[in-house]
Structures are given as structure tokens and as C-alpha cells.
A and B are shown apart, each in its own frame.
Chain A
Amino acid sequence: MTPHWTATGLSQDLPKAVAMAGHWQGQDLAIWRSASGRVQAWNDRCPHRGMRLSHGFVRGETLACIYHGWVYGADGGCKHIPAHPALTPPATIRVAAFACAEQDGVIWVAPADMVGAPVALSGLQPLRSISLTCDVAAVLAVEPALSGGDMLRGLVEIGGQACEVCLLVQHNAAGLTLHALCAVGADRIAASRWLEDLRRRAERKEAA
């Protein structure tokens, strides 16, 4: 499969100086935003004792593991080991970092050597992320106006009006997460209810 960008979350759900758990192609991720606002996606595992880095804490432009406070800098390299304050950590202590881009209010992840930017989503605003216990076929079956594979787009009826939507698909063990965007200027509350209704219909379809 050619390398490509996958939507792993929405910018609005990751405030500054916060780490959160994410995933990408079966890999657990620690996705975090530094104090200055830069978003990064790393392997969700401290190389020291295997603790999830998504439980860690952000200070400035670094992410620290919550277990022993090991501090990792912007490149994933270990910068400081609190148990040995005078030690300069060897360069071999490093967390695997993935390519991470933030564009159109969406956090995208790709292999580390990815070149190029994610697809532009002009005219759309981020709405919300929602998890479904069904597959894409069930979503398409209950909403024929949508089409696509990893990006479902179409004009659907929201609050009595035609509205452009874009659902960025992320597969996981339990089913799907959809990172939803809708047309700029659309009624966001109505769009959110439409999305919840879509989930109910698609999950019912899957169960049937």
C-alpha cells in the first residue's frame, strides 16, 4: 500500500500541553500538543519500562513519561532522566515518531518518511469525532448520498437543508471512528444530531 495520510483526530480535541491516546494502522499512538501548539504523533510506549506515553505530561516543547519522568524532546530523543540528573541520555534512547500534520482542523498521521501534505478540505469545518461498531459498508448502505472509501463525502439533508459533509474514516478493532467535517456555515448542532442518527442507523444495519 502506498504511504498515505490518515486522519487520527480533530485539532479541537487536543488543547495545548496535553497528550492523548490515538492509533494508526494497528499501532497505539501518543498524540500530543506542545505549549507552543505543535502536534506530534509517537509510538505510545516509553522505551524505559513500556509505560504508555499518552498518560504522560507536557512541559514546554517536551513530553515526559508519567512513570519515571523521562523527558523526550521534539525529535523523540530522550533529553533528561530525572533519576540521573547529571547524565546526558544516550542518543539511542528514542521514541519512534511518525509524520504528523495538522491541516483544516484535522490531525493527520503517516509513516515517518512521508512526503507531501494531506488532501485539502476547503470549505469544510471540523465537527466532531464519533465511534461506530460497524463497517463502512453499513454507513454507505444507510446513507446512499455518501460515497468513498477512507473519506466519505456527499450532500446530505441536515435540518431540512442540503449540506456537504466529509467523514474521515479510521478503522479500529471495535469498528470505525469517523472524524466528521461539515460545510462552513452549517448548523453544527443539527449536523451533530445527524451524525448520531447516522451511527444508530448504521449500527442497526450491521446488527440486522
Chain B
Amino acid sequence: MIAPEVLNEWYPVAMAAQIRAGQRRVTQLLGQPITVALQDGAIVVTGQGGTMPVTEAFGHVWACPGTPAHPLFPIPEALETGRRLVDVGVVRVKCSPLRAVENFLDIAHFPFVHTDVLGAEPHTEVNRYEVSIREDSDEVWATKVTFYQPQAAKSAEGGIVTQYMYRVPAPTAAVLYKTCPARPDALDVIGIFVQPLTEELCDVWPWMALYDDTTPQADLIAFQQMIFLQDRSILENQIPCLLPLDPGMEIPTQADLTSIAYRRWLKKRGLTYGAQMVAA
């Protein structure tokens, strides 16, 4: 029995361009079989109980298996002129969808998992940053995050101290804003939209809105795919598979403030699909 709090959220289920091109996607959402297809020019998501509420945003198709508690979150930057919107594609990961989001919010792993790209020893220190739950939007935000990066993006030449902001606007989606190497006055936007197939299996759809007019599309996608494949080697080897929401099972530090806030936010809102509630 899945809680209504979980059912009434929006989840990514496909890349919109693929469905619009006539592809039919037979997949799962929260353990139930669903089909995403084009019918009379409209994208339709069909589950066991019939069609479900659908919306299209940020290159992806979003579905709500229950009754939407609210509209899908906005990403205002997606509408800014001059940004390149990149649908990266899908990475299937055998892990809890919540673990996939939490990993995306984490910077301390950069030197060890994305070595010489997003981080490198001895630049391992995570400086104090700020985390809050924004009451107006009910989102988790981390701001004033900084980290030294040897190659912050495909367009970066040499190491820079990158500024980050992180945002969790939905239980299985996260968006980051980071220094744009090509335009120091602007921020690149990268999202991961995680489709919970089951509590222990997910499809991760990275998406980007960048200021980068020069890098070929294939190179941008390859860069991001490389990053997520490195993360997959971690995500498929965490014990337990489910994300522990009760303190005691895992030991965080100050560098994990975003993760701590995300876990509390999930627990408070009853968004426990993919979570473990009792310390084993």
C-alpha cells in the first residue's frame, strides 16, 4: 500500500522528444506497469487504473499516479533565452530513487568518485554552507556551496572554485545551479529527474540548461553520462539499498547538511517510497 503523499506527487516517466517522435515507452512507476505514448497529438500515460494526470516540462514527461497535490515545480531558467537545453538520456540504476537524489546533492564525493574532473585531492574540504527549507515553495535549498574543481564542465579549461546552489523541489528531482565556466556572471543549471520504477530500481534522467554555444551536443551528453556512470558504481553498492530516514543507521557530518535536510523533509512529508524507516 503506497501512501497518498507519495501517489500525489509528480514523477518523470519519459523524455518528451522520444514520445513525440512516436516511440512508445512501456515502463514502471512505483512498482506498477505504465505505458507512455502519443495519442492524437497528446502524450498519454496509462497505468492499471487508467490514464493519469500528465504534464510536459524541461524536456520530460511527468505523471502523477494519484491526485496532484500541487502543480509541477517550475525551473524559471529553462525559459531564459540563450540557454541550451540538453536532454541527456537515461541511466538505469539499481538503487533507491532517494539515494540517487541524495548522491546528486553531495559534493564531498567529487575528489574520490569524479577524480580529476569534479574534484581532486588534496582539495577535499567542504566549507560551511547554508541549508534551509523554503516555506513558500516547500523546497530544500542549499546555498553558498563552494568547491575546487579541476574540470567543472565540458567547457571548463583548468581548475576553478565553483559556486553551487542545490534545490530539491520534488521527492525524486533535484536541480543545481553552478558557476558557468564560459560566463562567470551566469549559472549553469543541471537537473536530475529520477523515475522510481520500484523502491530499489530507478531510471535517472539528467537534464541541463547551459550557456555553452560551442561544445557539440554529443560531447555535452557524453560528459554528463560519464559523471552519472561514475555515480552508479557507488549507488549500486550502498547498504542498505533503501535510504535510512531514521538517525542512527548512518553517521553524517557538517558536509552532509543538505542530505540531512532532504531526509528530514522526506520524513516530515511522508515521502517514504524508497526509504527505510527503522534502523536495522
Q: Please determine whether chains A and B interact with each other in the same assembly.
A: yes
Q: Which residues of A contact B (CB under 8 A)?
A: 28, 44-45, 47-52, 55, 65-69, 81-85, 87, 92-93
Q: A66-B112, A69-B112 are in contact. Are A50 and B250 (CB under 8 A)?
A: yes
Q: A68-B109, A68-B112, A69-B124 are in contact. Are A83 and B255 (CB under 8 A)?
A: yes
Contact of A67 among B112, B126, B251, B252 (CB under 8 A): B112
Q: For B121, list chain A residues within 8 Å (CB).
A: 69, 82
User: In the complex the two chains form, what is the Cα distance from A44 to B233 in whole Å?
Assistant: 15
Q: For B109, list chain A residues within 8 Å (CB).
A: 67-68
User: In the complex the two chains form, what is the Cα distance from A92 to B252 in whole Å?
Assistant: 12
Known A51-B237, A68-B109, A85-B125; further 16 A-B contacts with Cβ < 8 A: A44-B239, A50-B240, A50-B244, A51-B238, A55-B233, A66-B112, A67-B112, A67-B234, A68-B108, A69-B124, A82-B121, A83-B124, A83-B126, A84-B125, A84-B254, A87-B253
User: In the complex the two chains form, what is the Cα distance from A130 to B214 in whole Å?
Assistant: 54
Residue picked from A44, A45, A87, A93, most chain B C-beta under 10 Å = A45
The residues in B between 241 and 260 inclusive whose CB is less than 8 angstroms from any CB of A are: 244, 249-255
> Taking the complex as formed, is B227 at the interface, i.e. its CB lies under 8 A from any CB of chain A?
no
User: In the complex the two chains form, what is the Cα distance from A83 to B258 in whole Å?
Assistant: 14
Q: For A68, list chain B residues within 8 Å (CB).
A: 106, 108-109, 112, 255
> Taking the complex as formed, is B191 at the interface, i.e. its CB lies under 8 A from any CB of chain A?
no
User: In the complex the two chains form, what is the Cα distance from A47 to B244 in whole Å?
Assistant: 12
* Interface class of chain B by DSSP: loop
Q: Is the CB of B108 within 8 A of A82?
A: yes
Q: Which residue of B lies closest to A44 (CB)?
A: B239
Chain B 100-138 against A: per-residue CB contact (8 Å), 1 yes, 0 no?
A: 000000101101110000000100111000000000000
Q: Is the CB of B255 within 8 A of A84?
A: yes
Q: A51-B234, A66-B234 are in contact. Are A82 and B124 (CB under 8 A)?
A: yes
Q: A69-B112, A84-B254 are in contact. Are A49 and B238 (CB under 8 A)?
A: yes
Contact of A52 among B237, B244, B253 (CB under 8 A): B237
User: In the complex the two chains form, what is the Cα distance from A28 to B112 in whole Å?
Assistant: 23
Contact of A50 among B124, B126, B238, B253 (CB under 8 A): B238
The residues in B between 214 and 239 inclusive whose CB is less than 8 angstroms from any CB of A are: 233-234, 237-239
Q: Which residue of A lies closest to B238 (CB)?
A: A50
**Minimum C-beta distance from B88 to chain A (A):** 23
